[in-house]
Amino acid sequence: MGRKLLLEHINVPGINTLEVYRQKGGYRSVEKALKTLTPDEVVEEVKKSGLRGRGGAGFPTGMKWSFLAKPEGVARYLVCNADESEPGTFKDRYLMTHIPHALIEGMIVSSFALGANTSFIYVRGEMMPQIRILEKAIAEARNAGFLGQDILGTGYNLELYVQPGGGAYICGEETALLESLEGKRGNPRIKPPFPAIAGLYGCPTVVNNVESIAAVVPIINDGGEEYAKVGIGRSTGTKLISASGNLVRPGVYEIELGLPVEEFIYSDEWCGGIANGKRLKATVAGGSSVPVLPANLTLKLANGEPRLMSYESLSEGGFATGTMMGSGGFIAFDEDQCIVRNTWNFSRFYHHESCGQCSPCREGTGWMEKVLHRLEYGHGKMSDIDLLVDVSKNIEGNTICPLGDAAAWPVASAIRHFRDEFEWHVKEPTKALQTNYGLANYAEPIAKAEVTTGN
Amino acid sequence: MLKVEEQQPVSFSPALIEKFGEIVKRYPEGKHKSALLPILHETQAELGWLSSGAMDKVAEYLNIQDIEVYEVASFYSMYFLKPQGKFVMEVCRTGPCCLVGAEKIMDHLEKSLGVKEGEVTADGLFSWRGVECLAACGYGPVLQIGPEYTFYENLTEQKVDNLINDLRNK
């Protein structure tokens, strides 16, 4: 069993209530931070922990915090990014539903560290049930004296509010999120200035993912050095992985970073293998934006060593043979899935979600969707395949925010690894509509019985 | 895009106005425009959709230009700019849900309700549409129904039929 730092008590009945949460040691980190540490000491612990942003970019959280400008007399804000919209990712929903106080506790300690007296949790609007859950948890915390004026008699004041989004993937990008929180369209801002200098209402602001903020709780309870002992190398701590697609047991899992990918997919402790006795064809390891990998490269690096669930190992080999940790949205495709169809589906998503500010993204995502649609529906030409690569290259790196890259990578990687399947769609248009290309040479012959799950 | 619908007199209930007041209090002085998204959600929950009359009233309440409301309402996918069924069934149509059968569920909805995506049934009870990822990929196929956005997970055609029946008899 790997260590659990976030979900240790997830199965305790009533853990969503303040009472039970406190019986299990909840809100200790608030007492410790506010009564025995200075804000700078809290930041220092988070730096020592090596915690990296859990929303997708993987930027060190402590370093992000230390960039926050602190001009005299200007308010500072902490905004939690709970706009979870990356296809394949549903860990934040899980955490907020079942153990909302973990987020509230993390928000209090983090706000204290940053000197924020008003903080917001920006939750995607579709998560109305989770918004209600958080509002109830905030009310409980307030009644217990953990929010409001003079918290625990320390003189520290904090108001915490939940803000609903309106349904837009782009608002997961931090500057688009801030625009949205100001009551505007979610158009990303040109950086610099970064939010640490001019964020919400033009004031210094930190935006962190739900899981990053929840991870501050064990970091403060046990110390940053203890946290850094968990995991592997620069991938410290635990990570919530959202597992979906054709798996025996999809769901949210807390893993210690460094777990072999093969064990995560096939071990009964985790996903339990591929559903319906099928074989694995491909995976998207970190949410729809990261490159898709065929099964053989998912399980092993190009040099044959096992691939691990860590920031470094997943990106080993660059985009030629690797992918990214991203937000931890792990999507498994079985042998019956069509890569062309899925790539078209993802392209439609990015076209729909492009905010329209930058022409390469606004126009390029539309063209990619159109070309992929005709390939999937039997009207494609061989030249379409290189056309897609060309369009994706003209989007990548040419936009204000990373949505452009996120739209380009799935297409480029699908063609990189599965070009023969695209070509088959052109050569056999009728057949491609009736049947699937299958496993081809994408998977290694891995029989479930041969997998060792050594704990 | 935004269509100007027939203007009908719109009135907000006192309870709704009270909710607006609670929301506006969350933000620093002068930053009340931040209340726009939550206020539009509350308005839609009461009226079922956002007519231009309703949006104008929201603009008036927040003391901002009408266009500032229109541009926001038309940007975000959750706001309805034309009338919908009483129950809007929104099915996730993105990758992970499609790996486990979301497209079949949408075909089934179209057949059972007898209306195409975006249309309203003759009795005014239902409309349906495919929406992008709802962050519930491990429980797919999924659909949600506003205004409380109740979730229905691991859908089968049978479960969809039962749900439609339950809602009809509500």
pLDDT at A238: 97
CATH number attached to the domain at A258-336+445-450: 3.10.20.600
pLDDT at position B9: 80
> Which DSSP string corresponds to A305-336?
PBPEESHHHHHTTHHHH----TT-EEEEEETT
Interchain contact, B136 vs A90, CB within 8 Å:
yes
At A441 the pLDDT is: 79
Inter-chain touch A331–B37, beta carbons under 8 Å: no
pLDDT digits (tens, 9 = 90+) for A346-388: 999 999 999 999 999 999 999 999 999 999 999 999 999 999 9
* Amino acid letter for position A55: G
Residue B62 and residue B134 in one domain: no
Whether A454 has a pLDDT exceeding 60, the answer reads: no
Contact B105, B90 (CB under 8 A): no
The minimum CA-CA distance between A151 and chain B, rounded to whole Å, is 19
Q: Which of B29, B37, B139 to mutate to test the interface with A (most CBs of A within 10 A)?
A: B37
Task: Tell me the domain boundaries of chain A.
Answer: 18-229, 258-336+445-450, 339-434
Residues 6 or more apart in contact with residue B13 via CB below 8 angstroms: B46
Contact call for residues A84 and A216 (beta carbons, < 8 A): no
- Do B55 and B106 lie in a common domain? no
Which pLDDT belongs to residue B123? 95
The residue among A346, A110, A295 whose CA lies nearest residue A219 is: A110
Distance of CA A172 to the CA centre of its chain: 10
Which chain B residue has its CA at the smallest distance from A410's CA? B95
Under an 8 A CB cutoff, do B135 and A169 touch?
no
One domain, residues B163 and B95:
yes
The confidence band for A248, taking pLDDT boundaries of 50, 70 and 90, is very high
Q: Are A295 and A443 in contact (CB under 8 A)?
A: yes
Residues 256-295 of A with CB under 8 A from B: 284, 288
- Which of the listed residues B54, B75, B96 is the one where a domain comes to its end? B75
Identify the CATH number of the domain defined by range A339-434: 1.20.1440.230
Question: Total structural domains in chain B?
Answer: 2
Question: pLDDT value at position A155?
Answer: 97
The predicted structure's pLDDT at residue A127? 97
User: Is the confidence at residue A242, as pLDDT, over 70?
Assistant: yes
Segment A420-432 shows an average pLDDT of: 96
**Residue B2 falls inside a structural domain:** no
Asked if B60 and B100 sit in the same domain, the reply is no
CA-derived radius of gyration, chain A: 22
> Could you tell me if B93 and B164 lie in one domain?
yes
What distance in Å separates residue A82's CA from the closest CA in chain B?
A: 11
Taking the CA of residue A428 and the nearest CA in chain B, the distance in Å comes to 23
- Together in a domain, B61 and B24: yes
- B28·A118 Cβ contact <8 A: yes
Which residues constitute the domain of residue B29?
14-75
* Model ipTM value: 0.95
DSSP string over A131-162: HHHHHHHHHHHHHTTSSBSSGGGSS--BEEEE
pLDDT digits (tens, 9 = 90+) for A91-110: 999 999 999 999 999 999 99
B54 and B125, same structural domain?
A: no
B78: nearest CB among A88, A126, A352: A126
Query: Residue A452: is its pLDDT beyond 50?
Result: no
Residue B162 within a domain = yes
Contact B132 A352 (CB under 8 A): yes
Pairing of strands A231-232, A235-236: antiparallel
Residues B100 and B164 grouped into a single domain:
yes
Per-residue pLDDT band at A450 (split at 50, 70, 90): very low
Domain contains B62: yes
Size of the A and B interface in Cβ pairs below 8 Å: 149
Our CA-based measurement puts residue B10 at a distance from the nearest CA of chain A, in whole angstroms, of 22
What is the model's pLDDT at position A446?
A: 47
SS3 B144: strand
B130 touches chain A (CB under 8 A): no
pLDDT tens track for A58-93: 999 999 999 999 999 999 999 999 999 999 999 999
The residues near B67 (Cβ < 8 Å, ≥ 6 apart) are: none
Q: Closest chain A residue to B74 measured between Cα atoms?
A: A185
* Same domain? B143 vs B99: yes
Q: What CATH number did the domain enclosing B127 receive?
A: 3.40.30.10
Residue with tokens 């369009």: A391
Q: Which of residues 412-441 of A touch B (CB under 8 A)?
A: none
Average pLDDT over chain A, rounded to an integer: 95
- pLDDT tens digit at each of 170 positions of chain B: 455 555 668 999 999 999 999 999 999 999 999 999 999 999 999 999 999 999 999 999 999 999 999 999 999 999 999 999 999 999 999 999 999 999 999 999 999 999 999 999 999 999 999 999 999 999 999 999 999 999 999 999 999 999 999 999 98
For position B34, which CATH number holds? 1.10.10
Q: What is the tens place of the pLDDT at every residue in A273-308?
A: 999 999 999 999 999 999 999 999 999 999 999 999
A84 touches chain B (CB under 8 A): yes
Place of tokens 């099964």: A295
Predicted pLDDT at B6: 56
Q: State whether B144 and A126 contact (CB < 8 Å).
A: yes
Residue B154 domain-assigned (yes or no)? yes
Find the CB nearest A243 among B133, B138, B151: B138
* Interface contact A78, partner B, CB < 8 A: no
Do B64 and B99 fall within a single domain?
no
Residues 31-90 of B with CB under 8 A from A: 31, 33-38, 40-41, 68, 71-72, 75-79
In chain A, residues with a C-beta closer than 8 Å to the C-beta of B148 are 128-129
- CATH T-level fold of A18-229: Rossmann fold (3.40.50)
| Chain B residues in contact with A346 (beta carbon < 8 A) | 94-95
**Using a CB-CB distance cutoff of 8 angstroms, which residues of chain A are in contact with residue B140?**
244
Best interface-test mutation with A: which of B2, B88, B99 has the largest number of A CBs within 10 A?
B99
Same domain, B111 and B160: yes
| B96 & B150 share domain | yes
